[in-house]
Amino acid sequence: MAYLKTSDTIIINATLTDKGRKLLSRGKFKIAKFALGDDEIDYKLYDPVEIRDTEEYQPSLLNAYSLEAYSDRLKNIQYGLNSYDASVLYLTPEELDKMGEFKHAYLLYLPVLKQNNKLDVSPTKRDFVYYVSVNDETTQKLIDSIPGFKFLQSSNLDNCKIVIESGIHMAEEKISSAEDTTPTIKHRRHGIVKKFLLDHDFFVNADNRFISTIAAIRPTSRFENFASGEAIINFETFTDIVPITLENEFPHYASYIIKGIPNLMAQYDYPAEDPADRIEYSALAGPRGAVTALNVVVDNQLKVNSTGERDFRFSKYGKIDQTPFAEIPTTKFDYLDTTIYIYGGTTNSRVQVPLRLLRFAGT
């Protein structure tokens, strides 16, 4: 369904999916419910941390073209309008009085997903992607040749992980000026948990032509700090994640569901310590809700080392005999670029993680 706006008229253009046309031909088609969305708006054009003046981003958002109606049911309403009014149960009497007759969830901020690149287990982003070594030979070549370079390893899932946080994020000056957005445990409970905005689960879409499964963390993992300044960061990994039957909008992509754990990284008062000396473990400036970590397990046929026969997918979908690293200009690699998509199970907030599957090809 889409809107078609002329000079003086707005027309709703509805296109039936294959399933809808089949029901219509049988005389059983009936509209039972509808949903609203704004897929044509790219909210990534607006960065609340970098942009200070709304006039800088309004033209990009308001002048977007309306999309035509799709017949593919998996391509419709990827960014739907959600209702969070269940959290009205936890409103204070003062908040209820402000609303008058019409009660609603009183949401000032919605959580976003943000990748954490501050931790020791976080991989290095290089050439706009995160590298994944497909076999031990490639891993050893990178370790020996590029000191300090952190990358994902398909044969060692605990060495590096993709860490995703869910919570409230905005410019630091806005955080400091708004009393309810500082990253404390109290504001986490009031602004996220009691608003029913906590992502207990996360959905992951990964291309099953290259990635055989997703490795997620155990529920016993911890991501927490204390008033003493100490922190516990323990992402325990296991590999028993199998695809679920939830369909997605990407061809060849499998869907997975992974668990989140409480994100208890909070701001405390350290009277005897210089604030500049504090170690920030979270990528979010505001209250933190949940966190998860994952790794990818590469398809076994892509793991063949340089003495074996190269899998055809490197030449069909990627590039072969490339020299992507200036530190080792004569060393050749094959690689495939792919992207995994992660969604908050409650908030539907999304983040994309670009990956480059790397195989040592020789010198």
The confidence band for 238, taking pLDDT boundaries of 50, 70 and 90, is confident
pLDDT tens readout for residues 240-253? 789 998 888 888 99
Residue 211 CB-half CA count within 13 A: 33
Q: Is 302 in contact with 308 (CB distance < 8 Å)? A: no
pLDDT per position as a tens digit, 310-324: 999 999 999 999 999
Sequence letter at residue 178 = A
pLDDT of residue 94: 75
Quick one: which H or E segment has residue 298?
A: strand 288-298
Q: Distance (Å, rounded) from C-alpha 209 to C-alpha 243?
A: 13
Q: What is the DSSP letter of 31?
A: -
Handedness of CA 261, 267, 273, 276 (dihedral sign): positive
> What is residue 36's predicted lDDT score, i.e. its pLDDT?
77
For 33-37, 41-45, 118-122, 160-164, which range has the lowest pLDDT when averaged over its residues? 41-45
Sign for the pseudo-dihedral over CA of 22, 28, 29, 34: negative
**Over the stretch 287-311, which tens digit does the pLDDT of each residue have?**
999 999 999 999 999 999 999 999 9
- Given a contact cutoff of 8 angstroms between Cβ atoms, the answer to whether 291 and 166 are in contact is yes
Q: Within 13 Å, how many C-alpha atoms sit on residue 39's CB side? A: 15
Q: What's residue 103's pLDDT?
A: 60
Higher pLDDT, 184 or 194: 184
- Tell me the per-residue pLDDT of 326-360, one tens digit each, with 9 for 90 and over: 999 999 999 999 999 999 999 989 999 999 999 99
The two structure tokens encoding residue 183: 């990253």
The residue among 58 and 127 whose pLDDT is bigger is 127
User: What separation, in Å, do the N-terminal and C-terminal C-alpha atoms of the chain show?
Assistant: 54
Query: What's this model's pTM, rounded to 2 decimal places?
Result: 0.82
Rounded distance between C-alpha atoms, residue 264 and residue 203, angstroms? 21
pLDDT of 86 = 60
Mean pLDDT within 149-165:
94
**Residue 54 pLDDT grade (very low, low, confident, very high; cuts 50, 70, 90):** low
* pLDDT band at 173; cut points 50, 70, 90: low
The CA-atom distances, in angstroms, between 190 and each of 47, 181, 196 are: 25, 10, 10
Q: Considering only 77-91, 121-135, 251-265, 311-325, which range has the smallest mean pLDDT?
A: 77-91
